[in-house]
A and B are shown apart, each in its own frame.
Chain A
Amino acid sequence: MLDVFNSFYGLIPVTIAQSLIVSFVVLGVMLPFRILNFPDLTSEGAFPLGGCVCGTLIAAGVNPFLAVFIALLCGFAAGCTTAFIHLRFKINTLLAGILVMTMLYSINLRIMGRTNIPLFTYDTTFTLLAGPAANFAWVKIAIVGVLVALVIAAMLYFFMSEKGTSMRAVGASPDMAEAQGINVSTATIIGVGVASALSATGGSIMVQTQGFADVNMGFGILINGLAALIIGEAITGRQTILRQILAPIVGSLVYYQLISFCLTLGLAPADLKFATGAFVLLMLALPNLRKSGGGNQIREKIRE
């Protein structure tokens, strides 16, 4: 038992670093789902897209900071595409996300030209910022932690600004938003775009810490993100915009420690996705199970 605890304890810093990186994706899942009421799957494709773009550019000798920025822009474009498909062709948001995600797989392969690019020999944002110390988990935590804090502060400020309040109204009540003179389509496209930009940023940071870009990276990241979000919301609540924005970070930190703990206890990695899926299902089903009625329960309202 002590062994198990020791190996879990040893993994804590690495896990924190990983969860901070993934918290970008969780933010990218939260924003459309909770703020825009636009359940979106684009993250699953935007995360590897960010990784592939960033990895390819770094391997081509581009400045890593610029590479991250371009990856972010690519993610933004992917998200905008999903929202546009939904709004213009009235295709269900989930299906629009699946379409973009599927097509992104080919695009990612085309960008890289192969399935995997090693980056161990190249400078990354981490080596540029921290030199040889870049490989220490705590250094990664510090760098990504500062970035996460900046993103949270920026999002919090934005969503309390005049423009941000309007964007939240689009998710809260599209009819009301339109009647108040808010361009619902533009707000939705930009919002979903920003969400995917966050996921792509997460992917671009991930390839730099793991030392390679892979077209299959982040398979199932969306469900992980959703699980983290649900855990986070259970801890922070959703009453205020601050709590809603902190939920992804808190959830990601807790969720990956839980996974790490389960793995050290002996959960087979092969069973991980099933366990995560079952967990998400349980959490989503719980409110319905609690009600005695059945039949006409109030479900999550999803925009058609």
Chain B
Amino acid sequence: MTDMLSVKGGTKIFYRGTQDERRALDGLDVTLKSGDFCIVIGSNGAGKSSFLNAVSGKLPLDSGKIFIDGQDVTKLSAHRRAQFIARVFQDPMIGTAPTMTIGENMLLAELRGKQRSFAYGLTTSRRARYSKQLAELNLGLENRLDMQVGLLSGGQRQSLSLVMAVSTHPKLLLLDEHTAALDPRTAKLVMDTTVRAVDELKLTTMMVTHNMEHAINYGNRIIMMDAGKVLVDIGPEEKRGITVMDLIDRFHTKSDAIALQGA
């Protein structure tokens, strides 16, 4: 299988040369194979968000390289990388345009990374296609293409964001704690939809989460981050049957070992 994402020596230092200097990413090496569903965990400040932002292009690296499907994207800005990457944010308010209609949001997603023309946007054929895609959510959104997205609930918006993200078959799907702001029932609904879409479309996916249950129940790989590096990398064979306790043990063993080395 080919490498879909590869980060080599990714380093990002905030406030370089001041007292507040902080290494958000410290020589990070990660490779995702095509079809990997990788869960990224780690405590606050471990570098999970920086990792995601570096991949999406929001956070330019100080050094290191990023390849998507073999192509060097290190120098591409965030909006240029959008042709490869779809992203669902933690905050349902950010991932969609609240003052625009459901149909318009779907249109924006369909045109992600493509040349946009002066032609009329929401054509009849597009509306029909969007209705069909939204119908799979079973939320009734398919009949509300002209409704403003701001009027939807958080769960509905997150589900919409997800459909928008996967509808274009991106090379890489980034999920940034995308169920964290939802109540448990809605979170489950969105998570189920996520898994279904990822399986069906064989999307290479990276999901940041704080939810240990999610980490062990979903995906085929777990990356545990600490201090801007990968601390533990658990592959498909090992991940089957792993428990939350195992995860915590692995984390402590490894960080203790590092602490001892330092001492």
Footprint of B on A, CB under 8 Å?
Answer: 157-158, 160-166, 168-169, 171-173, 175-184, 239
Contacts and interface: CB of A to CB of B under 8 A. Distances in A.
Contact of B82 (A173, A181, A239): A181
Contacts of B93: 173
Nearest to A162: B116
A160 B100 contact: no
A163 B79 contact: no
Contacts of B11: none
A161 B120 contact: yes
B111 A180 contact: yes
A173 B98 contact: yes
B82 A172 contact: no
A227 to B, nearest CB: 23
A250 B119 CA distance: 28
A162 B121 contact: yes
B242 to A, nearest CB: 32
A183 B98 CA distance: 19
B220 interface: no
A168 B100 contact: yes
Chain A to chain B: the 8 pairs with minimum beta-carbon distance, closest first: A181-B82, A172-B97, A162-B116, A181-B113, A173-B97, A180-B112, A165-B121, A172-B99
Given A163-B116, A172-B97, A175-B89, A183 B121 contact: no
B38 to A, nearest CB: 19
Given A165-B108, A184-B79, A172 B100 contact: yes
Interface in B53-89: 56, 58, 77-80, 82-83, 86-87, 89
- SS class of chain A's interface: helix, strand, loop or mixed? helix
A183 B80 CA distance: 8
B82 A178 contact: yes
A158 B56 CA distance: 29
B96 to A, nearest CB: 6
Contacts of B121: 160-162, 164-165
A165 B117 CA distance: 10
A122 B104 CA distance: 48
7 contacts: A158-B118, A164-B121, A165-B108, A169-B97, A175-B94, A179-B112, A181-B79
Interface in B82-139: 82-83, 86-87, 89, 93-100, 104, 107-109, 111-114, 116-122
Nearest to B148: A239
A178 B99 contact: no
B199 to A, nearest CB: 23
A181 B89 CA distance: 15
A165 B104 contact: yes
B112 A177 contact: no
A192 B148 CA distance: 25
Contact of B122 (A157, A160, A173, A175): A160
Contacts of B100: 165, 168-169, 172
Contacts of B111: 162, 166, 180-181
B98 A172 contact: yes
B116 A176 contact: no
Nearest to B57: A178
B135 to A, nearest CB: 22
Contacts of B122: 160, 165
A9 B117 CA distance: 47
Given A161-B118, A177-B97, A181-B112, 8 more contacts: A162-B111, A162-B121, A168-B100, A173-B94, A176-B108, A177-B108, A179-B112, A181-B83
A172 B95 CA distance: 11
Nearest to B149: A172
B119 A166 contact: no
Contact of A166 (B78, B80, B95, B108): B108
B112 to A, nearest CB: 5
A163 B120 contact: no
In this complex, the member of B79, B94, B96 whose beta carbon has the largest number of chain A beta carbons within 10 angstroms is B79
Contacts of B99: 171-172
Contact of B79 (A161, A165, A168, A183): A183
